[in-house]
């Protein structure tokens, strides 16, 4: 466990996680400085931080400030190739992320969930199942509450269900979840990681410090997950591997057979029925996979099948994930603002048979939109592009589907509303980050819902 009392600690980045880390450190006796590259006028929390006694550096990162520390805590939104970080890392400075910091103090058992898509829904669902089973449960990480905010409520009996991103996993040095889930790995955040290989390597770190006493749950239909499995196993003192599949039976894990979900506790053991697929209230095949992953996690945590069935049946879509907004004049509107990469958008469109008016665009992440072509040609009536990625999307999908440049989300909603006919669906699934026009994907989703409700 990191010693904090009287240590000089620098927190880099004042997002939600950075603020939580700064307050966590100060409460434990550290001498905390916070640094953010934004100018002081854009840091809304600055007056409060000064009132609380923090030393705040804004507008740029000072190398001297970095070199004076005993420990540096990096917010997930801050890339590790910031020059000051690269310099002090080369000097041997101790650098961790907020996830690693909080996890070292977190009591009880941890379920950690990562993947390119489905993390938030699966995290929320596992939390609901554990709560239904009567377990003291905390949910957070990359969603909701930062890990450092969860520490005080954690006990030896509690279960912390954490969504963890590739950004967070980059800086772990001892993070060891009892149960780790990798839902899928498809190209995402290539603008941050530089290559798909680097992105995959970051995701794989979720299991790096697990032992043979722990569990690793992987998607049997995902090629990159299969590669991670090859690195695990008792011979390397790594986690016990369990699988999930919506396409075929697996020897150890959760799968769909006929119209029901089954779980095989051990290879060779008879699988037990868990629930009918029809009782899943979430739309889309990808959500069947999310449920299968959650079934694995819950059974490995000791929750019985009946409790799982009840919790899954009662679970509804998480906000901004294929969230039904309203029906107007026979047209249904869905908010999937969390679809921030191409694969997430593909899964969202696949949830509908056809008649889709799709809002695409935002801040590009070095994505290839051409892979959406065949699906859009089959199911989408028109694409409304927004944000800085609009021109690239229009260029890569030219001739595949009708494309209109809407520029703003407000204009996109108006254009879709004007052209959609009864039976159609208007879907916000942008395949891009939101930071060109919005604070985050949640802000984008809220604005979309307000615009739709105002029609």
Give the residue numbers marked as catalytic: 119, 142, 189
Residue with tokens 């009662």: 314
Residue with tokens 């009591």: 107
DSSP letters for 273-294: EEEEGGG--S-SHHHHHHHHHH
Query: 223-230 and 196-204 helices cross at what angle (nearest 10)?
Result: 50
- Residue 296 is encoded by which pair of tokens? 């694995």
C-beta separation of 142 from 122 below 8 A: no
Query: Element (H or E) spanning 331, and its range?
Result: strand 331-335
- Rounded Cα distance between 315 and 311, Å, is 6
- Rounded Cα distance between 160 and 146, Å, is 11
Between the CA atoms of 182, 185, 188 and 193, what dihedral angle is there, to the nearest 10 degrees?
80
- Residue 295 is encoded by which pair of tokens? 């079934």
DSSP letters for 82-147: -HHHHHHHHTT--EEEHHHHHHTT--SEEEEEE-SSSHHHHHHHHHHHHHHTT--EEEEESSSB-H
């Amino acid at each position: 466990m990191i010693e904090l009392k009287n240590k000089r600690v620098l927190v880099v980045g004042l997002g939600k996680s950075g603020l939580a880390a700064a307050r966590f450190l100060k409460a434990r006796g550290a001498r905390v400085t916070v640094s953010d590259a934004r100018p002081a006028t854009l840091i809304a929390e600055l007056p409060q931080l000064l009132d609380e006694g923090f030393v705040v550096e804004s507008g740029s990162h000072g190398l001297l400030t970095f070199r004076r520390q005993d420990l540096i805590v990096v917010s997930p939104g801050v890339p590790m190739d910031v020059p000051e970080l690269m310099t002090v890392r080369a000097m041997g400075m101790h650098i961790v992320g907020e996830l690693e910091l909080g996890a070292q103090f977190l009591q009880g058992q941890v379920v950690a969930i990562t993947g390119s898509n489905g993390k938030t829904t699966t995290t929320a669902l596992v939390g609901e199942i554990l709560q239904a089973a009567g377990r003291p449960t905390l949910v957070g990480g990359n969603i909701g509450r930062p890990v450092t905010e969860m520490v005080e409520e954690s006990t030896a009996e509690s279960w912390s269900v954490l969504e963890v991103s590739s950004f967070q996993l980059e800086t772990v040095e001892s993070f060891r979840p009892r149960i780790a889930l990798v839902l899928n790995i498809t190209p995402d955040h290539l603008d941050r990681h530089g290559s798909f290989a680097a992105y995959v390597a970051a995701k794989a770190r979720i299991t790096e410090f697990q032992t043979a006493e722990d569990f690793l749950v992987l998607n049997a239909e995902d090629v990159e997950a299969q590669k991670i499995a090859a690195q695990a196993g008792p011979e390397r003192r790594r986690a016990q591997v369990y699988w999930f599949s919506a396409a075929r039976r697996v020897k150890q894990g959760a799968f769909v057979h006929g119209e029901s979900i089954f779980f095989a506790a051990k290879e060779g053991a008879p699988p037990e029925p868990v629930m009918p697929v029809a009782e899943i209230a979430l739309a889309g095949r990808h959500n069947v996979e999310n449920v299968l992953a959650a079934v694995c996690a819950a059974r490995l945590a000791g929750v019985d099948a009946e409790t799982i069935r009840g919790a899954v049946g009662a679970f509804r879509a998480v906000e901004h994930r294929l969230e039904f907004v309203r029906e107007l004049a026979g047209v249904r509107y869905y908010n999937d603002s969390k679809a921030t990469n191409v694969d997430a958008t593909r899964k969202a469109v696949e949830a509908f048979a056809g008649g889709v008016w799709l809002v695409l665009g935002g801040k590009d992440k070095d994505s290839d939109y051409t892979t959406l072509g065949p699906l859009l040609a089959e199911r989408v009536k028109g694409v409304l592009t927004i944000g800085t990625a609009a021109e690239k999307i229009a260029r890569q999908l030219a001739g595949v589907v009708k494309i209109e440049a809407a520029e703003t989300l407000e204009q996109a909603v108006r254009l879709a509303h004007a052209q959609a006919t009864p039976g159609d669906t208007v879907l916000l699934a942008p395949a891009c980050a939101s930071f060109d026009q919005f604070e985050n994907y949640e802000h984008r989703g809220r604005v979309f819902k307000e615009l739709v409700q105002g029609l």
